[in-house]
A and B are shown apart, each in its own frame.
Chain A
Amino acid sequence: MSARTKTAFPFLRALDLLVIPMILVGLYFAYLYAPRETTMGDVQRIFYFHVGFALNCFLAFTVVFVSSIGFLWKGGRAWDDTALAAVEVGFLYCTLVLLTGPVWARSAWGVWWTWDARLTSTLLLWLIFASYLFLRTYMAEDPRMRRYAAALGILGALNVPIVYYSVKWFNTQHPTTFITQRGKLDPQMAVSLRFCMLAVLALAVALFLKRRAIGRLEEERDRLMAAYEEGEIR
């Protein structure tokens, strides 16, 4: 096992010890510390994590964009491993956004789903990256598949600005801010939102590093397996 692999392994396991308490503190902020929102009530507390998941999902897909361009330009497994790890984290976060949003919508709007610009473009983003993961799962491992995946990753990531600005460009029901009786974001709400976003970012980094390490280790395992089989044949 390479020295880098040996030192990275305990570090990756220790990341949980940093991230899990941060999430628990985030839950405290979201559930207990932040005041009750005046119009939406308690269900608005979903947003402390919903917003964090959405922004970090955009961040993950931006990493996909950069690393996919890097792969098409320079080649190399490292770029591809980075893109795949970022897609998995971004896709997971996008799924959580699409699950938690309707829970809030059912309570606030009375419907689980509406074909609003923000919701529809987010669903489209999710579908593009679902097809990315299908492509990687069902197509044979070869350089052509990696190139197709990189192209799809770039195409999917180009949808991120459309999702982000959809609330400005189109007439949409999706809220842009939440307010209190004073008419602006309450300081306690702002602190809670910032901390939850930070906790969700820390979790995304931990998941990304773990997933990327798995890709690198699987590569090393395949190389060792090939060397072992070669030795056996001789």
Chain B
Amino acid sequence: MSPMHYLLLGYGLIWLGLGVYLFQLNRRLDRVHRDIAELRERLERTRRV
């Protein structure tokens, strides 16, 4: 492998790792946000009944 290949491999590993982590964080953030909204709604409904 040439130095350029090593460079591409190095950067590839960086951005793949960071991209996966950022994607997973955003998904978790969305999910927990949705769960809270749903629970609030359910609690409101229970109180009304």
Contacts and interface: CB of A to CB of B under 8 A. Distances in A.
Interface of A: 1, 5, 9, 12-13, 16, 27, 40-43, 45-46, 49-50, 53, 92, 95-96, 99-100, 103-104, 106-107, 203, 207, 210-211, 213-214, 217-218, 220-221, 224-225, 227-228, 231-232
Contacts of B43: 224, 227-228, 231
A92 B17 CA distance: 8
Given A9-B33, A41-B3, A103-B13, 16 more contacts: A1-B36, A5-B33, A5-B36, A9-B29, A40-B3, A43-B4, A99-B13, A103-B9, A104-B6, A203-B18, A214-B29, A218-B32, A221-B32, A221-B36, A221-B39, A228-B42
B6 A43 contact: yes
3 nearest CB pairs, A to B: A103-B10, A43-B3, A224-B39
5 contacts: A46-B10, A92-B21, A99-B13, A103-B10, A210-B25
Interface of A is mostly: helix
A49 B46 contact: no
A5 B29 CA distance: 11
Contacts of B35: 221
Contact of B40 (A1, A40, A46): A1
A50 B11 CA distance: 10
Contact of A100 (B10, B29, B37): B10
A50 B40 CA distance: 44
Nearest to A88: B21
Nearest to B9: A103
B33 A42 contact: no
Contacts of A213: 29
Interface in B1-49: 1, 3-4, 6-7, 9-11, 13-14, 17-18, 21-22, 25-26, 28-29, 32-33, 35-37, 39-40, 42-43, 46-47
A207 B3 contact: no
B10 A104 contact: yes
B33 A49 contact: no
B6 A96 contact: no
B21 A207 contact: yes
A210 B26 contact: yes
A49 B12 CA distance: 12
A55 to B, nearest CB: 15
Contacts of A50: 10
